Structure 1
Amino acid sequence: MKLIRFGESGKEKPGVIIAEKRFDVSSIVTDYNEAFFEENGLEKLKAALDGNPSLPEVEASVRLGSPVARPSKIICIGLNYVDHCLETNAPIPEEPIIFFKSTTALCGPNDDLIIPKNSEKTDWEIELAFVIGKKASYVEEADAMDYVAGYCLHNDYSERAYQLERGGQWAKGKGCDTFAPLGPFMATTDEIADVDNLKMWLTVNGKTYQSSNTLNLVFKIPFLVHYLSQFMTLLPGDIISTGTPPGVGLGIKPEPVYIKAGDVIELGLEGLGSSKQVAVAYKK
């Protein structure tokens, strides 16, 4: 299945994509939130859809929100592509680097990117994200995929000065409003034949900056579920973003390239759709 949430920001309803058309399933499901995943909502929804219910169609012009309602956590993995480590002059990690994005950064896949107040170094990062399907604590790597509900496209926007020049803690540059556009949809795991071999790309104003493949991940999803669950309980609906490949603005030579108002950022991940954000300046 492909899950969507649609409608005005803060008032999204749950939906699905079937044969490239969008349908409203709010008569079956309240929302794609922690309770939905915890209560085996995916299987219940699939069973309901198999009954061929008559569902209202959602017009393609209707806004898409994040395909997952605000989770308890957005956990990100830093420096998880070898060539991205090289472009940023960072050593390849021996263990995953973990940081958090604020849940208030979460937004729809095509919402505007708001450049933070006084920002001069807002940057892009295409990433594969996955969603936890059930409570996970001290999970064995061999069992890890049983805890994954599905996959999403994610742009892990970053303000590099806040991240790297403000006394430490990457979270300072990661959690600004609109810095986590997710979607357009969450694909359940059965929709993706090989999550370790997905092409990915990102352009700014039509110029390609990132072009890679999830083959190049240092730490794969099963290990990440296992590893993270040693340090914290992962709850249903939690989002984990796996890191970005090379081509971020910070790594451009001879001078970094950062986002300015009016820039158009487009990105896509094989099997997981594409998204588009237009950068706008912060206003009160």
Structure 2
Amino acid sequence: METGEKAEKTKSQSGSVEKIRTSLFHRLLDKRMLLNPKEEMKFLLHRLIFIARISPELADKRDLGGYYEQLYQDLQRYYQGDGVTGLLLLYPSYILHIVESSNDVLFSVLRDLGHMQWQGHSALILEPRILVISHDIPNRLFQQWSYKVLSVPARRLAAAEQTESHEKLVSESLTMLMKLGVEMLKTPKRSKNSADSVLDKEPELIVPQDNIEQLLKNEALLTPLQYLDTYDCPINVVMDSDRVWPPYEHFLPIP
């Protein structure tokens, strides 16, 4: 009997030791659980930022905001619990769209953009290009999804700005967007006019429309169809050496 009690005690002690011992991965999960117990543990968070040209046939830019509002409602019904946050900026001629959600939602948005590319000039937006896709980001920059119609005047770029590298334009644009997100986090969580108040207060955080025009000319930025083609491409690529018979090992000198 004493031996059995000793064994149970040892088993209990070892179990408690195993419970105490953990890894950095589990500590990070615990931290995410504390920050957002309802959402962050369900899926990894990703962020998509893309730019595009607004179709000249679109009479009211608010229709584009309504389109994405309906799209995200439909996606959240399908991917339950995968909340969508972000900001859609509607310029006179272009859009800049930030979307934060799960990988499934973001790829649904990309496939919708790819479908628009196939539609050609009849689509709501034209020539979309991906500015950046960030995977497994630690937290959201936006508390909800909203859109804002901007009436910023176009300005003529100086010669020095026209020759500015696309890498620098991307870096500057992303820096401005990150600062904008930080400012929007400071607004009340359920304020519907958070984008209006922040953009009116901090107009220098708005990426200039001319920058977007220059970035759309950068062929290094992938279109949604190019990105999806790469994503859907099989990884089991057949090497040229696999097509040779007999295998190259037969031609190696004998040691």
Superposition TM-score, scaled by structure 2 size = 0.29
- The structure carrying a bigger strand percent of its residues is 1
Please say which structure displays the higher CA radius of gyration: 2
- The structure carrying a bigger helix percent of its residues is 2
Superposition TM-score, scaled by structure 1 size = 0.27
